[in-house]
Structure 1
Amino acid sequence: MHAAITQADRTLGCLLGGAVGDALGYQVEFSHWDRIKESWGPEGVTELRRNRISDDTQMTLFTVEGLLLAQPGASSETFVEQVRLAYLRWLVTQEEPMPPMASEGLAAQPWLYDRRAPGRACMTGLQEGARPGVNPNSKGCGTVMRSAPFGLYFGPVEAFAFAERCSALTHGHPTAGASAGAFAMIVAHLMLGATPQRAVSETMMHLRDGIDRSETADALQRAYKLAGNVPPGPNTCVPLGEGWVAEEALAIAVYCLLGTDDVRKGLTAAVSHSGDSDSTGAILGNLYGAAYGAAALPREWASQVEGREVIAALAGLMAADA
């Protein structure tokens, strides 16, 4: 059934799905499950009352822009440098009220200058120049939520390597890099038509090759086990953590991906908990879109999410360039 999905549709699905999951979860970020249940009901976050995306989608789009500016065939150092420069342009959007004169590309988009709760490590790492080695003890999920584009642009092994390297521009902890790399690798496998189970299994085997990757591998193992025993639903991800750190955010999204191919149900489960709801929703949305294409996304959410036209345009460029 999924073999007929085009690469262009998977690419659009991945980027648009991430924005949808992000917006869905951003409505309740920092809210405890009891508060969510009181405001939204026991079924969790089942509607998009506000269409705003967060820093997760903002940084994902700048990742896309960096990869596109590097051009096919560029050296690995060029790719990393272009992504670094792209993140520094995103930093300007968080520090200035509007685009500076002569701004180009995403930096010229006024709607991206709204500050949407950016992660502290992302901000401090970039303010220090986005050089490897910053924030050596930080493994926040800010590296994972921005890394899907590596899986759209590169094959699985390269996607892992580039996401891991670019993670270190803001988060120096090895688990942050391993989790970003694992996420990008899963996306890359899905883009090649692998089933979610195969994509996750192949990535788990890759993680076992490095001792510094054990936290991520263990988190995915827990997600795999939970998916086989507890169907995803509101607040069922509790055994996996709250998603504030990299391996937990990835595990929650993978649990929902493996637990159901019902995109609406999975996204609702991924954001209806006490943790980092926008990041877990964004990561799962990226995965669902890469697995099943843009047509699988709930139409009423995908049609109204903030920045849809820009996202679609970048997806088109990415699909043509990859």
Structure 2
Amino acid sequence: MTGLWGRVEQQDFRSRVRGALLGSALGDALGAPLAGLSLDAIRAAHGPDGLTGPAPAHGRRGRVTAATQLTLFTVDGLIRAHVRRDTGAWHPPTDLHRAYRRWAATQHDWGPDERRKDNGWLAQEEWLYARRGPERACLTGFADEALGTLEQPKNPTARDAAAASRSAPFGLLVGWEPALVLQLTVECAAQSHGHPGASLSAGALAVIVHGLTRGDSLDSAVQRTLGLLGARPGHQPVTDALQRALAAVTQGQPGAEAVEALAPSEGDAEHVLAVAVYCALVAEDVSHGLRLAVNHGGDSAAAGALCGALLGALHGETALPAAWLAELEGRATLLEISDDFALEMTQGPTLHNPAHSAPGWLTRYPRFSRASGQ
């Protein structure tokens, strides 16, 4: 794939990578202040139009939740997987699990362990060492070295949207075929969320992002995703939710009531996905779509994160609201890892190969860790 990238294609890809990751974080931060609130409570607190812009959560405006933390470690794990391929070792789910274990350390350690050079640069970011409402399934799923698999998933009843909320980066693997993107995402989701509604929603989100990053329309990306989902056991709730989202586009003016109708439960992943897809389809611009996505009684932060990833991948970085970006926690880290991911995907063999590697890149993304036993 690397040899096919021209300068314009590289710039477009980098813009979409930045758009997806920053957009997801913006939606996450926008929805964070609304956690646990019904639509009536949101309107009572923020006025009849609901929340219309960033509000304080976790101490200030622009603060992100565990969803963005985990998304960053997803990107880190994907880069590390590609770097480790030089060694002949190629099992991305293991590399993602190790990345999520590094996230788990941020949830109980006081700060970075300077002695762990094999952790790479992301785990040295001090601002990530804060607990921001992680779902219990994530904490238990990544609590030990045991790798959840599709045959033996962790937390088989966990159906919330936390796995989907961290899964947009899988869709940025544009050199992969969509079916492989779906398979990898579902395998990695099962490391914490074993219910098919949760793991397949994560996979569906990734495949839609994959289509958008390749230049498809949102409708086309959803249709392709529906085709791939049909072959997976337990797909029907996710398929039905996506089809309801598509149908809702033609059923009246976009608004909070339409969003509420797509989210009959407070947090089932497929309903959160449906809200995100609907809001992205009807969005006049990114800020409009994100406002729609968070103003409902369900999981506002997750819906915002998913919708932001979709709109960012669709439109690129420059479509994101600049005033919101200015206040976004971790913006510099998000930009740095976005550009590293784009560099790895477009120029990886020039950065590292079995014969020669750039030392700086291997310092940032080490091939081995103590957890690997190598």
TM range (shorter): over 0.9
| Of 114, 121, 136, the match for 2:156 | 136
Is 1:93 aligned to 2:106, yes or no? yes
Is 1:146 aligned to 2:166, yes or no? yes
Is 1:165 aligned to 2:171, yes or no? no
| Of 75, 78, 97, the match for 1:67 | 78
Which residue of structure 1 aligns with residue 336 of structure 2? 313
> What is the CA distance between 1:236 and its match in structure 2?
2.9
Which residue of structure 2 aligns with residue 228 of structure 1? 250
> What is the CA distance between 1:99 and its match in structure 2?
1.8
Which residue of structure 2 aligns with residue 107 of structure 1? 123
Gaps of 5+ in 2: 1-7, 56-60, 346-374
Q: Which ranges of 4 or more aligned residues in structure 1 deviate by more than 4 Å?
A: none
Q: Which shifted more, 306-315 or 64-73?
A: 64-73
Separation in 2, partners of 1:283, 1:243? 16
Which residue of structure 1 aligns with residue 46 of structure 2? 40
> What is the CA distance between 1:77 and its match in structure 2?
4.9
Is 1:301 aligned to 2:358, yes or no? no
Gaps of 5+ in 1: none
Is 1:20 aligned to 2:22, yes or no? no
TM-score calculated relative to the size of structure 1: 0.94
Separation in 2, partners of 1:66, 1:211? 27
Is 1:249 aligned to 2:269, yes or no? no
> What is the CA distance between 1:82 and its match in structure 2?
0.9
CA contact (8 A) 2:266 2:297 kept: no
Separation in 2, partners of 1:76, 1:185? 25
Task: Kindly provide the amino acid, as one letter, of the partner of residue 258 in structure 1.
Answer: L
C-alpha RMSD of the superposition: 1.9
Paired residues in the alignment total: 320
Query: Given the superposition, is the C-alpha separation of residues 174 and 76 from structure 1 closer, same or farther in structure 2, using an over 3 Å criterion?
Result: farther
CA deviations 1:237-259 (Å, max 9, x no partner) are 11111551211111110011112
Task: Kindly provide the amino acid, as one letter, of the partner of residue 168 in structure 1.
Answer: A
Separation in 1, partners of 2:179, 2:43? 41
TM-score calculated relative to the size of structure 2: 0.82
> What is the CA distance between 1:76 and its match in structure 2?
8.8
Task: Kindly provide the amino acid, as one letter, of the partner of residue 72 in structure 2.
Answer: L
The structure that has the greater radius of gyration is 2
CA deviations 1:78-118 (Å, max 9, x no partner) are 21111000000101111122223324422111111111000
CA contact (8 A) 1:30 1:274 kept: yes
Query: Given the superposition, is the C-alpha separation of residues 291 and 76 from structure 1 closer, same or farther in structure 2, using an over 3 Å criterion?
Result: farther
Task: Kindly provide the amino acid, as one letter, of the partner of residue 124 in structure 1.
Answer: T
> What is the CA distance between 1:35 and its match in structure 2?
1.6
Query: Given the superposition, is the C-alpha separation of residues 232 and 128 from structure 1 closer, same or farther in structure 2, using an over 3 Å criterion?
Result: farther
> What is the CA distance between 1:30 and its match in structure 2?
1.4
> What is the CA distance between 1:157 and its match in structure 2?
2.0
> What is the CA distance between 1:283 and its match in structure 2?
0.6
Which residue of structure 1 aligns with residue 69 of structure 2? 58
CA contact (8 A) 1:257 1:288 kept: yes
CA contact (8 A) 2:248 2:258 kept: no
CA contact (8 A) 1:233 1:265 kept: no
Is 1:122 aligned to 2:145, yes or no? no
Query: Given the superposition, is the C-alpha separation of residues 287 and 243 from structure 1 closer, same or farther in structure 2, using an over 3 Å criterion?
Result: farther
Separation in 2, partners of 1:231, 1:190? 25
Which residue of structure 1 aligns with residue 17 of structure 2? 11
Q: Which shifted more, 184-193 or 22-31?
A: 22-31
| Of 32, 35, 41, the match for 1:29 | 35
CA contact (8 A) 2:272 2:298 kept: no
Separation in 2, partners of 1:6, 1:192? 10
Query: Given the superposition, is the C-alpha separation of residues 320 and 231 from structure 1 closer, same or farther in structure 2, using an over 3 Å criterion?
Result: farther
Query: Given the superposition, is the C-alpha separation of residues 32 and 299 from structure 1 closer, same or farther in structure 2, using an over 3 Å criterion?
Result: same
Q: 3-state SS of the aligned residue for 2:159? A: coil
Is 1:237 aligned to 2:259, yes or no? yes
Query: Given the superposition, is the C-alpha separation of residues 259 and 311 from structure 1 closer, same or farther in structure 2, using an over 3 Å criterion?
Result: same
> What is the CA distance between 1:72 and its match in structure 2?
6.0
CA contact (8 A) 1:141 1:243 kept: no
> What is the CA distance between 1:235 and its match in structure 2?
4.5
Query: Given the superposition, is the C-alpha separation of residues 198 and 261 from structure 1 closer, same or farther in structure 2, using an over 3 Å criterion?
Result: farther
